[in-house]
């Protein structure tokens, strides 16, 4: 569908009284994996699944930014799905992952010579997110919001959001952005947003995670993770004494240490500095290499892109609720660890296999 009019006409035939429900739905997640597989562009093994049973693709975006793309699907029964593509074989797509300095979760970004990308992903001023993936969302939003507007104008209110791997990280950021747009009145207050992140890396810091979890509370988001998969453990994180809440013991550590008798004060302050300074030096290195230098490399392929000011934070955390797929003996026998196949536990097939055997009884979206 190439025009908003045609898309609106199609969307108008899709809506009925069916409603998305909160909470994890095993069949819904398995169908989403099939949807992702149907439009996959990936170098990783184990991504081919059967065709979707419920959803049909009605739009596919052009490739933009750092090899980013999204697709719009409909189940012709009241729900559309926004599916975000993951990492592709192209080096620019991998650069998006490695460009992992943090930026504030609210601000603006000069993507190119076009309009500035104004974004708000959190109400917490301390929240920060992965700059490379935010850059991807900025480019995708230019086609995504108009298409979503067309569906909403036609009466639609049920929106499923999903992605695997890098696509899962993008799904986190897009979800946060859309919830903020709904809160501001840019999107209808009654639009229902439900998100399945799959094998998603960590997209932001602890303040972002807390705000995201609070905003989507009640069962409207989940990240499904294979416990044998290393990708959700990334990006590499550095926590410093600056990353704690305002009230913490580290704030007054040095003044209290200086009150100790000599030479005990020198000994303790020396130990404290040996523990505190390396993490802050590591944070500076991350910001310099994965922000400054990586940003210059990214800008070479993005004419007009102006790298933003980076946050003094590299404290990436997991965002819940997390549904863990714990490999069983049958899985370990079939797929023993092979260091030469680094994505062997990451593909859609492995997630699909584990989910088919997964018993969700007793699991809630609180992660307990």
Look at residue 238 and tell me whether its pLDDT is greater than 60.
Answer: yes
CA-based R_g, the chain, Å:
22
Q: Give pLDDT, residue 100.
A: 98
Look at residue 211 and tell me whether its pLDDT is greater than 50.
Answer: yes
CA distance 117 to 137: 9
Q: Give pLDDT, residue 42.
A: 54
Segment 280-288 mean pLDDT: 97
Segment 187-196 mean pLDDT: 98
Each residue of 142-155: pLDDT tens digit? Answer: 999 999 999 999 99
Q: Give pLDDT, residue 363.
A: 58
pLDDT band at 362 (very low <50, low <70, confident <90, very high): low
Q: Give pLDDT, residue 251.
A: 78
Look at residue 335 and tell me whether its pLDDT is greater than 80.
Answer: yes
Q: Which two tokens stand for residue 43?
A: 């170098």
Q: Give pLDDT, residue 249.
A: 86
246-254 contacts at long range (C-beta below 8 A, 24 or more positions apart): 250/276
pLDDT band at 257 (very low <50, low <70, confident <90, very high): confident
Each residue of 107-118: pLDDT tens digit? Answer: 999 999 999 999
Look at residue 12 and tell me whether its pLDDT is greater than 70.
Answer: no
Sequence-distant (6+) residues with CB within 8 A of 24 are 219, 222, 323, 360, 363, 365
- Note the CATH number of domain 4-236+302-357: 3.40.50.1820
Look at residue 161 and tell me whether its pLDDT is greater than 90.
Answer: yes
Segment 66-90 mean pLDDT: 96
Q: Give pLDDT, residue 178.
A: 99
The alpha carbon dihedral of 41, 46, 51, 56 has a sign of negative
Segment 34-44 mean pLDDT: 79
Question: What Cα–Cα distance (Å) separates residue 329 from each residue in 49, 199, 230, 298, 340?
Answer: 23, 21, 19, 43, 21
Segment 87-95 mean pLDDT: 95
Question: Whose CA is closest to 82, among 7, 29, 166, 148?
Answer: 148
pLDDT band at 41 (very low <50, low <70, confident <90, very high): low
Look at residue 207 and tell me whether its pLDDT is greater than 60.
Answer: yes
Segment 233-239 mean pLDDT: 97
Look at residue 9 and tell me whether its pLDDT is greater than 50.
Answer: no
Least confident window among 24-28, 152-156, 199-203, 258-262 = 258-262
pLDDT band at 255 (very low <50, low <70, confident <90, very high): confident
Segment 249-276 mean pLDDT: 82
CA distance 24 to 22: 7
Q: Where are the domains of the chain?
A: 4-236+302-357
Q: Mean pLDDT for the chain?
A: 92
Segment 203-213 mean pLDDT: 99
Segment 341-346 mean pLDDT: 96
139, 163 Cβ separation under 8 angstroms: no
Percent of the chain scoring above 70 in pLDDT: 92
pLDDT band at 270 (very low <50, low <70, confident <90, very high): confident
Segment 348-353 mean pLDDT: 98
Q: Give pLDDT, residue 194.
A: 99
């Amino acid at each position: 569908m190439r025009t908003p009019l045609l898309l609106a006409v199609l969307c108008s035939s899709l809506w009925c009284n069916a409603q998305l429900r909160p909470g994890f739905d095993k069949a819904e997640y398995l169908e989403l994996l099939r949807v992702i597989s149907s439009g996959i562009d990936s170098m990783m093994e184990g991504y081919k699944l059967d065709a979707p049973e419920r959803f049909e693709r009605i739009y596919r975006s052009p490739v933009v930014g750092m090899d980013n793309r999204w697709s719009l699907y409909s189940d012709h029964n009241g729900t559309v799905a926004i599916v975000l593509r993951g990492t592709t074989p192209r080096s620019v797509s991998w650069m998006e992952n490695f460009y992992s300095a943090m930026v504030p979760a609210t601000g603006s970004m000069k993507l190119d010579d076009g309009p500035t990308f104004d974004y708000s992903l959190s109400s917490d001023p301390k929240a920060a997110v992965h700059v490379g993936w935010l850059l991807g969302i900025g480019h995708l939003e230019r086609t995504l919001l108009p298409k979503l507007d067309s569906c909403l104008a036609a009466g639609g209110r049920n929106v499923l959001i999903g992605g695997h791997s890098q696509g899962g990280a993008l799904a986190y950021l897009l979800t946060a952005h859309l919830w903020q747009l709904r809160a501001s009145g840019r999107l209808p207050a009654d639009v229902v947003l439900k998100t399945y992140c799959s094998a998603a890396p960590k997209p932001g810091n602890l303040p972002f995670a807390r705000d995201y979890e609070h905003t989507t509370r009640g069962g409207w988001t989940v990240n499904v993770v294979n416990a044998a998969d290393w990708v959700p453990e990334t990006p590499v994180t550095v926590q410093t004494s600056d990353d704690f809440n305002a009230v913490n013991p580290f704030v007054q550590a040095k003044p209290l240490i200086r009150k100790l008798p000599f030479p005990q004060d020198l000994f303790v302050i020396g130990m404290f500095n040996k523990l505190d300074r390396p993490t802050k030096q590591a944070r500076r290195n991350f910001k310099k290499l994965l922000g400054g230098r990586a940003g210059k490399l990214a800008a070479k392929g993005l004419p007009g892109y102006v790298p933003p000011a980076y946050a003094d934070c590299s404290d990436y955390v997991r965002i819940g609720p997390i549904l863990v797929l714990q490999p069983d003996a049958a899985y370990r026998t079939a797929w023993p660890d092979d260091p030469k196949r680094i994505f062997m536990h990451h593909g859609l097939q492995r997630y699909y296999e584990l989910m088919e055997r997964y018993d969700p009884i007793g699991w809630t979206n609180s992660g307990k």
